[in-house]
Amino acid sequence: MNDQSLFAALRAAFPANLDSVAIETADGPAGQPFTPQHYTWRDLERGTAMLANLLAGLALPPASRIAVQVDKSVEALMLYLAVLRAGHVFLPLNTAYQAAEIEYFIGNAEPAVVVCTPKNFAWVSRLAFSSGVGHVFTLGDDRSGSLLERASHCSDQHKPVPKQADELAAILYTSGTTGRSKGAMLSHGNLLSNARTLQSYWGWRSAREGGDVLIHALPIFHVHGLFVASHGALLNGSRMIWFNRFDPAAVIARLPEATVFMGVPTLYVRLLADARLDRDACRTMRLFIAGSAPLLAETFHAWEQRTGHTILERYGMSETVMLTSNPYHAVEGERRAGTVGFPLPGVSVRVIDPARPGQPLPAGEIGGIEVKGPSVFAGYWRMPEKTQEEFTADESGDRWFKTGDVGRFDERGYLTIVGRSKDLIISGGYNVYPAEIEGFINEMPGVAESAVVGLPHPDFGEGVIAVIVPKPGATLDPAAVVGALKGCIANFKVPKQVFVVPELPRNAMGKVQKNLLREQHQGLFAR
């Protein structure tokens, strides 16, 4: 059998010298004395083998789901690799999820094994065992827990289980802002094809070219940190400087040892707030990548001015991994603020008029974004009806995934994400795209960021409101904001009310949770 597994490809990319450093820790468990740990490629080989042998000893059915909700650590990354190595399916769970959410995920995915933090063992194990889960282990970010204790007695020799490209590798549950979370099923082929595309498109350097060093400061329960960042370094045989938690000062101190950094926009804003960030600190860096949430043009330009580097913004989803990217090489075009660049090689992206399914819109017009390509998932776990609903087939038989995002192409082919289709506001029969209004508000003096949402309105169906965060020391007048907007956009788009708040609610990846804003102000116009 020709092994097409993701693990086999990652393992084949390990450097010839297995005793060179693969991962160096840059921090440790909170509140504990820190001593840097250096993990060699041989450590990754032996550690994943021992964990895979532990799973093999449980006599699990093939392709069992392994649900994991643990704090970030190198051992947690090894567990992910070991699950792939053992031929099972990895199910990462956000560390912020609470009991009711975990109960749903366990009930829906029916994992054979659950791994949680030692502090959560009592309640997680109770939920797991009551749902028929056979095994519950613990794993702490200080290398404690029953998982490593059991694995320490296992052999460090293991033959990886071969897989075909279309076999399931991971299930990622979407955030579930509208209804129950859905489990996106990603295959070995989905993940490996995307990793290889990004390795080439983003110019990952081989050892002969001087190599790359990645600062890894993202969570690993999500596409960005677990797949894009980790796969990028592993597939390139590149060293990682590993942060369990993001600390701006600590990251800046390690930048001169690195060449690549990936972050959500919030991380870039926090780095810019530290005066130690300058061109000298970034002298060895070749690439800064942003994603998972929109990057403000102000942050884009401030970063360029301070560091001399232009952030590369890209676009992807849990269901598709990465889809588009601003260019890496200058000959392919400049990196444009407010855009997510061009479709990646092998990926097709189109903007569709919802009233005319299958008919792409011309440049400049806003519509629903649909995609197809080798990284697009097969469907949602145990939701065939939802899967069918989210895909559309052309007369040619091509299968396009309806992303739920709204956007437009410009004349040069750059894609701009305008918002989510569920965030579209229909006020008085007119379509209002929040991102357009947010763009105007964010350019106003004293504004740090904004979020625009629609609320039920007795006359207009939905009424537009804006929630704004001021810059430090700035004072914003809601009436003045409304007055300024009336001079730049149509009146039906102007917010009927503006709120000034200290911060916007965000999830763990930095995305603004507009559903919480809608809930908070739900009865505004009814009153």
Q: Are 24 and 257 in contact (CB under 8 A)?
A: no
| Tokens standing for residue 172 | 């990622």
Transcribe 224-287 into DSSP letters.
Answer: IIIIIIHHHHHHHT-EEEE-SS--HHHHHHHGGG-SEEEE-HHHHHHHHTSTT-STTTTTT--E
Whether 6-16+33-200 shares its CATH topology with 424-520 is answered no
What is the structure's pLDDT at 396?
A: 67
Can you tell me which residue has the tokens 């009927």? Answer: 496
Amino acid at 512: V
Q: What is the pLDDT of residue 301?
A: 96
pLDDT at residue 178, as a whole number: 45
Looking at the structure, give the CATH architecture of the domain made up of residues 312-419. Answer: Roll (2.30)
CATH code of domain 6-16+33-200? 3.40.50.12780
Query: What is the residue extent of each domain of the chain?
Result: 6-16+33-200, 312-419, 424-520
Burial of 427-443, coded b for 16+ CB within 10 Å and e otherwise, reads beeeebbbbebbbbbbe
Take residue 153 and report the two structure tokens written for it.
């007695």
Report, as ranges of residue numbers, the positions in the chain whose pLDDT lies below 70: 1, 175-179, 395-396, 429, 509, 527
Residue 180's pLDDT is what? Answer: 73
Tell me if the domain spanning 424-520 has CATH number 3.30.300.30. Answer: yes
Question: Comparing C-alpha atoms, which of 85, 89, 78 is closest to residue 43?
Answer: 78
The per-residue pLDDT for 457 is 85
Helix %, strand %, coil % for the chain, to 5? 30, 25, 45
Helix (H/G/I), strand (E/B), else coil: 29: coil
Q: Say what the pLDDT of residue 177 is.
A: 42
